[in-house]
Amino acid sequence: MALSKHVPDIESLLSLNPRTPKSAKLVSTSETRKARQHWKRNGQTKGCATCFPDPLQNNFEDVKHTTLSERGALRESQRCLKCADAPCQRSCPTQLDIKSFITSISNKNYYGSAKAILSDNPLGLTCGMVCPTSDLCVGGCNLFASEEGPINIGGLQQFAVEMFKDMRLAQIRDPSLPSVADIDSYQAKIALIGCGPASISCATFLARLGYSNVTVFERENYVGGLSSAEIPQFRLPYDVVSFEVELMKDLGVKVETGRALSMDDLTLNGLKNEGYEAVFVGIGMPNPKCSPIFNDVDASHGFLTSKSFLPSVAKASKPGMCNCSTKMPDMQGSSVIVLGAGDTAMDCATSALRCGAKRVFVVFRKGFNNMRAVPEEMDVAKKERCEFLPFLSPREVVVKGGKIHSLRLCRTEQDDSGEWIEDEDQVVTLKANFIISAFGSGLSDQAVVGALSPLKFDKWSLPAVDPSTMQTSEPWVFCGGDLAGVTQTTVEAVNDGKQASWHMHTFLQSLHGLGVPKEPQLPKFFTAVDQVDLSVEVAGIRFPNPFGLASATPTTSAPMIRRGFEAGWGFAVTKTYGLDKDLVTNVSPRIVRGTTSGPVFGPGQSAFLNIELISEKTAEYWCRSITELKQDFKEQIVIASIMCGYKEEDWTVLAKQSEAAGADALELNLSCPHGMGERGMGLACGQNPELVLNICRWVRAAVKIPFFAKLTPNVTDIVVIAKAAHEGGADGVTATNTVSGLMGVQTSSNAWPSVGEEHRTTYGGVSGNAIRPIALRAVSAIGRALPGYPILATGGIDSADVGLQFLHCGAHLLEVCSAIQNQDFTLVDDYITGLKTLLYLRSIEELTAWDGQSKPTPRHQLGKPIVSVADVVGKSLPNFGPFAQKRQEAVAMSKAAVQPLDQAQPETHRPSFAPSKPISSVKELIGKALDRIGTYGDLNNQQQVVALIDEEMCINCGKCYMACNDSGYQAITFDAVTHLPHITDDCTGCTICLSVCPIIDCIRMVERPTPYQPIRGVPVRSQT
């Protein structure tokens, strides 16, 4: 057989591989309709519940469309523009620093993201799950103005805090704050009534401020208030609420359950008599609002309110909520009417389906345009085939045989004055077995009202509250949440508690004759991670952290360096400057986006190209600036970047001037790849080891402070240059400067950037992530050749995760430029928390399976964990068409047969994880990977791997199949019916399939079960 043709088995395997079409394709519409149903992934979009029943009984799995896997979170976070004065943040009631927490996610710093979230919102996970983001942060997203639409902020928030939750770290008070243990005012007794979102938020901030005698009283025997009792498990699991309460309790807050605000238990006057100096009331709206037509019916007839129905569902479906064996309300096969048009009504409707209801009607007085429910809630109810009946008002309940039979309703209309009226001539009778009233709630229990004495009430019969301080008519009593009369969402309740905490602090300190800052200063979220020391000593200099500003655009001026230091950067290398005789004038345009990441516009550029020269400012400007900066920033390190031609006198003069100005160290720019080399400077010196050797000797003779030679990657062997610098007395090297390149040519044949009317250009310096592999190679090669020799790494460092890679490869310090060009100086906060977390998590034995801050990937589809149907039906099934329906049926059968509380065990969040070994220092990480980086000859070709595909996670795209066929070894089959790929015995472990797979950990490389025998094509001839 011809060697240039595949064997028949491989030709068969290639049957679905793409081919260039030779003609137009002809398929009948009827055939396409059948095929469409087979491949359909978005379910049946038309038809009633009878035609396409959704198997939901006892199924309380996550239904939120916002939920994200790590893959989804990384992709979504990278879309974010991280806008200036971000409108999303201004639209958040708790003022979350949204762009910062999204930045941290995009950099795989999930602890840093959660820290940013929990600093402003102690219920950050709850709010990530239930916030009506379309009306809040997402509603202000600037990407609404683009075709791709706004960022899924709620999903990202949920993802980040869930990742932190799984780290099981305890909250601590800000360790930098002074101790208040001996100050009487901080021992004041504080009571919070109701353990709902407002109280949890208030108590958390009070504890962060240092108050040590804070008690939360809760009426029920479980915590969380409305979040636990009235938001279903499929939207907000109980373990989320308990996790946030545990974080609060980490700070010493006490919780007493079974204690109610009532004339029979807790009263405001009683608490005052017991010595409580301040009280926060956050009990929500405890009583349902009902139409008088329901006065003669109750639960025995089939009439329920949201206040009775949702808690009964919650107790039967939320593991860990209560120590009971509550069964789900039995609505098997029934018709249910839900009255109301708010979020609570949607929760009642979707919960009724999970109680076995066959049909659910959502009936409301006004039209769709007047519904109070947010789109996120409505979408779920519509997807689950609840029927919506607008413009109807209940008039009469029909009861037969002691059970509800039907409900008579009349048509409502809006008159010309805007008033809603009921038209008695238009009447509808709707048969139903159950009616759930979700018309809102209020405060009507006189036992509670009496317990609130002596508070004054407003015209809505609620406590009168100052919305700016949350203070009531009694200065020592504060109120928040629904009861305060303004809040409509969980996040607003959280902010009420946050707002109240500061004003309670002000009030309590004033009682003891003490003042507080004029501007509120609420402490942020902290754990032991934040106490990790990142300082590192290099060349006898102590750096507060290893992250610094590279000698580039971020250090264009001294005021910019000042702002960088204020943001937290550990050191800065000035923009390169020379003697006055070498002053330059730049051209424009000169800094352009890269083409290496395709059509990515805005931030997130993987590369930049610049033809900018050294600083246009004088040496005197920089020397005076260095002196000023060192006077104001004692801890941070200033490195002066200098450049001269190959002349000893010039290097001696400039080096001495810089040392005299107070520079901590020097960086000798021997590597600028454009412009300066033509003047006999920069690259012209740095490519010749003899010139590097001599320049380093000159500078060593001139100054006593340390200096580093900045190397160019535009050489055959960078190690030779590094050795020359080392021999010349340099205290270390910087590796590397930009890579000389041409970014692209336009269709007009003009390159970009093009200068002047002639549209001329030159080879510029490529920077950013695109050159990271080159920089890593340079750093590791120098690290191996000169063990322990200080290396300042630069080239594609855009996160703590990447910074750690450079440290492992031998870097001592990390210089950053392109990442700042993509965003701003505040990135350093993410880098610092990210590296601290990486160091801390390494010390926790329970997290050894984690890869940095990424936990092992659970099996999932659409970001949600999935049930393995292979165990149920005996084979894997894809997630489309008839197979998806079979999966649903299999899952539905298993769910329906088991009560929700028996399907899962409650999660535990305490005790928290603690280090089982000392936390590594930055110094201990330097060069840890070098003993595993070597020559090809060091590699073992007897230890082979093969690919393994997880069919449950596969999304059936066939990318692995195509890549293996056209770029590999034709070792993957692709089923024509199921589109499930399968690895054959021909797999050589090349790993290209894993490299192109769009789903994290869907493909893994595992040990080859048999010895690897290469296919030689033609048998090797025996040697005689």
Residues tagged active-site: 672
Tell me which amino acid residue 90 is.
R
Positive or negative torsion for Cα 1017, 1021, 1022, 1023: negative
DSSP H/E element including 766: strand 764-767
Per DSSP, which regions of 367-512 are E strands? Answer: 387-389, 392-400, 403-414, 420-431, 434-437, 441-442, 477-479
Going by C-alpha positions, the residue among 158, 155, 140, 157 that lies closest to residue 96 is 157
Task: Tell the residue number behind the tokens 């926060």, with chain if given.
Answer: 280
CB 682 within 8 A of CB 670: yes
Task: Quote the distance between the C-alpha of residue 113 and its chain's center.
Answer: 6
| Token duo for residue 491 | 């996040």
Give the whole-angstrom CA distance, residue 393 versus residue 391: 7
The region, left, alpha or beta by phi > 0 then psi within -120 to 50, assigned to residue 419 is: beta
Give the whole-angstrom CA distance, residue 45 versus residue 597: 37
Name the phi and psi angles at 541, rounded to 5.
-110, 135
Give the whole-angstrom CA distance, residue 956 versus residue 564: 47
Give the whole-angstrom CA distance, residue 111 versus residue 841: 10
- Max Cα distance, the chain (Å): 109
Give the whole-angstrom CA distance, residue 590 versus residue 608: 10
| Token duo for residue 51 | 């035609």
Output b/e per residue, 359-394; b: 16+ Cβ within 10 A.
bbbbbbbbeeeebbbbebbbebbeebbbbbebbbbb
DSSP H/E element including 562: helix 558-567
* CA atoms within a 13 Å half-sphere pointing along the CA-CB vector of 1017: 6
Give the whole-angstrom CA distance, residue 819 versus residue 890: 48
CB 458 within 8 A of CB 464: yes
Give the whole-angstrom CA distance, residue 481 versus residue 484: 6
Output b/e per residue, 881-900; b: 16+ Cβ within 10 A.
bebbbebbebbbebbeeeeb
Full 3-state SS string of 183-243? CHHHHCEEEEECCCHHHHHHHHHHHHHCCCCEEEEECCCCCCCHHHHCCCCCCCCHHHHHH
- Those residues with Cβ within 8 angstroms of residue 909's Cβ, 6 or more apart along the chain or in another chain: 165, 168, 239, 242, 243, 246
Output b/e per residue, 71-104; b: 16+ Cβ within 10 A.
bbbbebbebbbbbeebebbebbbbebbbbbbbbb
DSSP H/E element including 1006: strand 1003-1007
Give the length of the chain: 1024
Positive or negative torsion for Cα 692, 698, 701, 704: negative
Give the whole-angstrom CA distance, residue 88 versus residue 497: 21
Give the whole-angstrom CA distance, residue 451 versus residue 463: 12
CB 86 within 8 A of CB 809: no
Name the phi and psi angles at 978, rounded to 5.
-95, -15
Per DSSP, which regions of 222-332 are E strands? Answer: 254-257, 276-281, 287-288, 303-305
